[in-house]
């Protein structure tokens, strides 16, 4: 399998570092150790993203309480813009790709110098025209999450990016359900088929369910990218920890996705190398069902079909019937013509 066919696995650190550089560094190391292709953070100037009157989501209220506003919550868990060059450098040292999702125009400018392989656009910005246009001007590759979106909204966002300078085939669309955790009944993995019809560079899946089953299923359904939140400790304070994987679970997910990746194969129905020796064992040949003497005609009364499969194939049954035995055959011996 070449790199172009490999499923891209993004370990979503997000803001699960709780504004601690020490924790963010540890998350880079753990993501690399788990075998992820990228570790992804979230970059924002909270005051440019969230107004003072913006409410918290219900899941945020459940995980962080209602005393503070959404803005206050986000200000407490975001790293400064100056942190990301250091994290990008650490990713290079650890052999894992660096990504971070910008949530405002200033953050886009800040990340532009870090030479990321992909711009990751979050679901909440899919209807943000100035944001999409600014991303498009970079001319880079894009991974676009599509939570909370209709297919028409996704199509419009793709058109904006394409018109602005992004090659349509350089856009990967991630199906996503923006709820933490996502109920299984709301996952709708088959929506990836709808996204495929937009004819971009491929589709993938950004997961917010508990566990690893759904992202593994998405891999089996042809996702080119799998994104999953992870945390150092699910009991840490903050909005996303409870719906995230711990490092051991992240490693298990990566291993499972890689197994599925191998299992998908080429799509050509052929004999696998591992099963070839079993042809002789499992298939059957035409054999004598009783003693047959030389000169006797082969009939349905004196031949039958049994294992092993290294003799005349039963598919030749009609051509054997009626021929004359050229020698004696003992019971259960392979028939030869």
Please determine, for residue 1, whether its predicted confidence score (pLDDT) is greater than 70. no
User: pLDDT tens digits for 13-45?
Assistant: 999 999 999 999 999 999 999 999 999 999 999
Please determine, for residue 57, whether its predicted confidence score (pLDDT) is greater than 90. no
Whole-angstrom CA distances from 233 to 99, 130, 262, 293 are 21, 36, 31, 78
For residues 276-287, average pLDDT: 98
Read off the tokens for 306. Answer: 């049994």
What length does the chain have?
337
What proportion of the chain, given as a percentage, has pLDDT over 70? 99
User: pLDDT tens digits for 146-176?
Assistant: 999 999 999 999 999 999 999 999 999 999 9
Across the chain, where does the E strand assignment appear?
Answer: 8-14, 38-43, 97-102, 118-121, 141-145, 171-176, 203-207, 225-229, 285-288, 303-306
Read off the tokens for 157. Answer: 């966002």
pLDDT at residue 68 in the model: 86
For residues 240-263, average pLDDT: 96
Tell me the pLDDT band of 64, cut-offs 50, 70 and 90: confident
Q: Which domains does the chain have, with CATH numbers?
A: 3-264 (3.20.20.70), 271-337 (3.90.1210.10)
The reply to whether the predicted model has a pTM over 0.95 is no
Cis amide bond preceding 113, omega within 30: no
Tell me the pLDDT band of 318, cut-offs 50, 70 and 90: very high
pLDDT at residue 117 in the model: 98
pLDDT at residue 62 in the model: 81
User: pLDDT tens digits for 117-128?
Assistant: 999 999 999 999
């Amino acid at each position: 399998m070449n790199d172009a066919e490999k499923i891209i696995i993004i370990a979503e650190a997000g803001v699960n570092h709780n504004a601690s550089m020490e924790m963010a560094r540890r998350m880079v190391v753990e993501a690399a150790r788990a075998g992820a292709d990228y570790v992804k953070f979230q970059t924002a100037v909270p005051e440019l993203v969230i107004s003072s009157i913006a409410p918290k989501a219900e899941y945020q209220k459940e995980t962080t309480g209602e005393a503070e506003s959404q803005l206050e919550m986000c200000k407490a868990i975001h790293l400064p813009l100056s942190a990301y060059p250091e994290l990008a450098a650490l990713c290079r040292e650890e052999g894992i790709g660096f990504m971070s999702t910008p949530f405002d125009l200033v953050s886009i400018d800040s990340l532009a110098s870090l030479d990321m392989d992909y711009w990751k656009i979050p679901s909440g910005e899919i209807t943000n025209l100035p944001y999409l246009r600014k991303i498009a001007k970079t001319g880079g590759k894009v991974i676009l999450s599509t939570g909370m979106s209709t297919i028409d909204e996704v199509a419009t966002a793709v058109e904006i990016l394409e018109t602005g300078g992004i090659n349509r085939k350089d856009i990967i669309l991630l199906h996503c359900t923006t709820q933490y955790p996502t109920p299984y009944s709301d996952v709708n993995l088959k929506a990836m088929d709808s996204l495929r019809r937009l004819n971009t560079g491929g589709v993938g899946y950004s997961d917010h369910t508990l566990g690893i089953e759904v992202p593994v299923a998405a891999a089996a359904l042809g996702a080119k990218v799998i994104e999953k939140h992870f945390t150092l400790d699910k009991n840490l304070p903050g909005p996303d920890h409870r719906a995230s994987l711990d490092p051991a679970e992240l490693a298990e997910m990566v291993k499972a996705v890689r197994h599925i990746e191998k299992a998908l194969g080429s799509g050509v129905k052929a004999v696998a190398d591992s099963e070839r020796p079993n042809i002789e064992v499992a298939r059957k040949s035409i054999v004598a069902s009783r003693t047959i003497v030389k000169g006797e005609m082969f009939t349905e009364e004196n031949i039958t079909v049994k294992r092993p499969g290294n003799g005349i194939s039963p598919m030749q049954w009609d051509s054997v019937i009626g021929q004359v035995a050229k020698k004696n055959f003992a019971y259960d011996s392979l028939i030869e013509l």
